[in-house]
Structure 1
Amino acid sequence: MRDERTGLPVVIVAGLHSDARKEAVDQLLRTVPGSIALHHDLSTAADGTVRRTLRDAAGEVSSGETPLVNDCACCALREDLVPELARLAASGLTRLAVVELWDSVEPKAMAEVVVAHGGDALELTNVITAVDPALVLPCLGNGDDLAEAGLAAAATDQRTVGDTWARQLEYAPVLALVDSEDADDADRALLAQLHPTARQVGARSAELARLAFAGFDVETAAAAQHPSCALLPQEADEAGVATLVWHRRRPFHPERLYEALEDLTCAAARSRGRFWLADRPDTLLAWDAAGGALCVENAGPWLASLPDAAWEMVPAMRRAAAALDWHAEHGDCCQHLVFTSPGLDREGLAQLLDSCLLTDAEYASGREAWRRLPGAFDSLLDPVS
């Protein structure tokens, strides 16, 4: 029995690699006495229900169904997850609840649900993504919609396999790796460069159980993913896999960047970061690409554009990140993009990016002239409702 003075420890195990995920969950059930795994199978969502299963090291303990909510399997999961965990907590017999997420469910959303609604009864103690190193690149490079792959969580789910896998991989502080005969040095180098701060452990290692209780902070994890202060990878080159960190202080010309988007998106298996458009000089823009698909989003204002009084409302991590990147003239406005891929043409990519920046003459014309440049990104950033 666990200490009654604390909430029920909850660890989330995520990932598209279902066999690897099961291996990691099985290891936790074997090595943590009194542990229970909770899994919601969303593959039955087309029939109008989500199947819930509870199992321990000996096998299935119970199962049931929960109806869809708003025709959304993930919504049903959110509505059912915390009550089930709270029931386990109330029993006082469970030492660790292992939430095994279904293939395309992203851990960030579920981690925040547990923390927001679990109260004192639940304590999120870590998030783990299970990985087969040989499948990292195939998943990352898969531009198919989840619906095409039979992995959509709702009729309106427009995510792709590649971008979903990237977020699953990069959010978790712990990666549980299975042994794979098909994995080579390039696969392992790619994994290390995509998420260099992650703790990598074997899915069958004894250390996995210890890490399940290590602790987890959803606010820190969210900040680490936000484009304004993301912990982006550093320059690297190993086993034919390279990472380019491209950092500049001059804004992009919107038309030249837009014309180069296809080449830039396809130049790497994964690219992400923040960027600055001359015609929107006060707006921090997010760049997120995987599987040949690019998502560009408005991530709010650069801090340099805010009045001093507004800084008190900005999270401390955001202020600290801006301070580290501050420029006397432009503040935190900058280009900070990271590209990771096997066979990356770093020199050619850097030249293409540089060619999209304002020229000396354009830069010298000043911000008012910049704002009058053609709004090539308007259709992406200001969609008609």
Structure 2
Amino acid sequence: MPTPVALVAGLHGGARAAVVERLLRRHPGAVAIHHDLRAIGAGRVERVVRDVSGVLDRAEVHLAHGCVTCTVREDLLPELLRRAPTAALLVVDLWDSVEPRPVAEALAHEEAADLLRLTCVHTALDAGLMPLDICRGERLADLGQAAAAGDQRYLAEVLARQIEYATSISLHDGDEEDAELSAAVLGHLAPHTPIVAEPATTGPAVCVHELAERVDPATAQLPGEAQTGEITTVVWHRLRPLHPDRLFEAIDELVTTSVRSRGRFWLANRHERMLAWDAVAGVVSVEDAGPWLAALPEAAWEMTAPARRAAAALDWNPIIGDRVQHLVFTGPDLDRERIFALLDACLIDQGDALPGAEEWARHDDPFAPVLDLEETA
């Protein structure tokens, strides 16, 4: 039977340490592996292996390709495989700002399947800090939490990914009011993810393909409309395409009226392409998420994942296929009418060219610097 592996992530080091310590104490023979990135600015990564009695091994790791994620993956997997025969449980204690998805996908590699079984991806949060941190617009580098030189990610961006990818979440520290507020926020950001006292370490292996489908734009399990006290989630769902200029002009107001927003959308001048919207704490990312299923020949549909076809079927329209506007906004005291009015005003109208028409090819697209750069990268 493969050795179970618990992946523990989280920006809040104290909360994460509490989970790791509890797992080591409750599972005799458990071993935790942690890559310390405090000296990453000097190009040093330290691997620390410990059990409930203390440190078992400490070694400096070469920074592979100048990439922290590559370093953690390339050093972590061999170390886990080496420890697996004698460990009752392997705990991967990720550094604060390391995102769990690439590590989880590396652990699911075929060569490790006989010895390792990833049983959970757990995110530990400080109940007193999480509701504040998800609203913070600072970069990790400015806060001393960068995972590498040149790390340009934002704190709230990383926190959102750690929350939304996890199979379970735990809350630590803070008082009862902090815990209630944090639970309410999580109920909007990750409504399908259980909040538990400690992660489950038994059972079948986690399917990383299913975890990816939960967060990837084409198949994401987006939150539905909800109201919890002052926290509101609203869903904007339309069938007409958006005018690129109007949407571009509305972006600043849209991202500052909510704490978190995400989803998929359709621009009239990019008729064949699904676009992904991802915004948190006032910072927005717009990316090309590939073709709409309706833009592919039917023969290619069988080559797409079942979850992709299922998601398309839910939005299917006999005229436009799966092309849709599906954006979700979460924040305190959201002005639903204002958000909807802003977005509705961005839709094309009778005076605009039809989506996919030749006129759009001559259009000066404000999204081109980002989206066209992705296509040529």
TM-score (norm 2): 0.94
Structure 1 residue 153: deviation in Å? 2.0
Q: Is the 8 A contact 2:134 2:281 kept in 1?
A: yes
2:217 and 2:152 map into 1 onto residues whose CA distance is: 21
Residue number among 279, 289, 299 corresponding to 1:289 in the alignment: 279
1:302-313 equivalent positions in 2, closer than 5 A:
302-313=292-303
Q: Is the 8 A contact 1:278 1:370 kept in 2?
A: no
Residue number among 207, 213, 232 corresponding to 1:242 in the alignment: 232
Structure 1 residue 241: deviation in Å? 0.2
Residue number among 8, 12, 28 corresponding to 1:13 in the alignment: 8
1:1-385 equivalent positions in 2, closer than 5 A:
6-89=1-84, 92-116=85-109, 117-181=111-175, 183=178, 185-203=180-198, 208=199, 210-211=200-201, 213=203, 215-362=205-352, 365=354, 367-368=356-357, 371-372=360-361, 373-383=363-373
1:370 and 1:108 map into 2 onto residues whose CA distance is: 41
Structure 2 SS opposite 1:246: strand
Instruction: Give CA-to-partner distance per residue, 1:180-199, whole Å, 9 cap, x none.
Output: 21616433211111000001
Instruction: Give CA-to-partner distance per residue, 1:12-62, whole Å, 9 cap, x none.
Output: 000101111011111111111211111011112123221111111222222
In structure 2, list runs of 5 or more residues that go unmatched. Answer: none
What amino acid is the match of 2:185?
A: L
2:15 and 2:357 map into 1 onto residues whose CA distance is: 54
Q: Is the 8 A contact 1:126 1:214 kept in 2?
A: no
Q: Is the 8 A contact 2:166 2:193 kept in 1?
A: yes
What amino acid is the match of 1:80?
A: D
1:27 and 1:200 map into 2 onto residues whose CA distance is: 16
Structure 1 SS opposite 2:255: helix
Q: Is the 8 A contact 2:69 2:102 kept in 1?
A: no
1:366 and 1:127 map into 2 onto residues whose CA distance is: 41
How many residues of Structure 1 are paired with residues of Structure 2 in the alignment? 372
Q: Is the 8 A contact 1:29 1:35 kept in 2?
A: yes
Q: Is the 8 A contact 2:40 2:149 kept in 1?
A: no
1:344 and 1:185 map into 2 onto residues whose CA distance is: 20
Instruction: Give CA-to-partner distance per residue, 1:193-252, whole Å, 9 cap, x none.
Output: 10000011124xxxx3x4554531100001111101100001001110000111110110
Structure 1 SS opposite 2:312: helix
Identify the range of structure 1 (365-374 vs 135-144) with the bigger mean alpha-carbon deviation: 365-374
What amino acid is the match of 1:216?
A: V
Distance change (3 Å), C-alpha of 1:150 and 1:179: closer
Q: Is the 8 A contact 1:8 1:94 kept in 2?
A: yes
Q: Is the 8 A contact 1:13 1:130 kept in 2?
A: yes
1:135 and 1:283 map into 2 onto residues whose CA distance is: 38
2:88 and 2:357 map into 1 onto residues whose CA distance is: 61
2:285 and 2:317 map into 1 onto residues whose CA distance is: 27
1:185 and 1:37 map into 2 onto residues whose CA distance is: 30
Q: Is the 8 A contact 1:74 1:154 kept in 2?
A: no
Structure 2 SS opposite 1:85: helix
2:123 and 2:318 map into 1 onto residues whose CA distance is: 40
Q: Is the 8 A contact 1:173 1:199 kept in 2?
A: yes
1:43 and 1:278 map into 2 onto residues whose CA distance is: 47
Q: Is the 8 A contact 1:186 1:240 kept in 2?
A: no
- Computed over aligned residues only, the root mean square deviation of the Cα atoms, in angstroms, reads 1.7
Instruction: Give CA-to-partner distance per residue, 1:253-276, whole Å, 9 cap, x none.
Output: 100000011111111111111010
Instruction: Give CA-to-partner distance per residue, 1:295-340, whole Å, 9 cap, x none.
Output: 1000100000000111111111100110111111111100001111
Structure 1 residue 139: deviation in Å? 1.7
